[in-house]
Amino acid sequence: MSLKFMIYSRSNCPLCEAMEDELRPFIEKYSITVNRIYIDNEAVLQKLYGDKVPVLTLNNEILCHYFLDTEILLKAITE
């Protein structure tokens, strides 16, 4: 079964693009799925994540924000 992660981001966000780039090798190696959700026009999501984007979650649990924490990501993938 493939793990389905979510990345909450904003349009034209360099940190968001950087995290997505860093996730690519993990997507390929571990066959995980990462869905992108833009919070720009979503009031509820803006309230939840605001300026913390990008935010990476698994099962609605925040794994990291701003920068990819590869140690936490690998732990989530291998458990």
Domains parsed from the chain with CATH numbers: 4-78 (3.40.30.10)
d(CA 4, CA 56): 11
Does the pLDDT of residue 3 top 80, yes or no? Answer: no
Burial of 18 (0-12, 13-18, 19+ CB in 10 A): middle
Whether the predicted pLDDT of 57 surpasses 90: yes
What predicted TM-score, i.e. pTM, was given to this entire model? 0.92
Q: How confident is the model at residue 44 (pLDDT cuts 50, 70, 90)?
A: very high
Q: In which band, very low, low, confident or very high, does the pLDDT at 19 lie, cut at 50, 70 and 90?
A: very high
- In which band, very low, low, confident or very high, does the pLDDT at 2 lie, cut at 50, 70 and 90? low
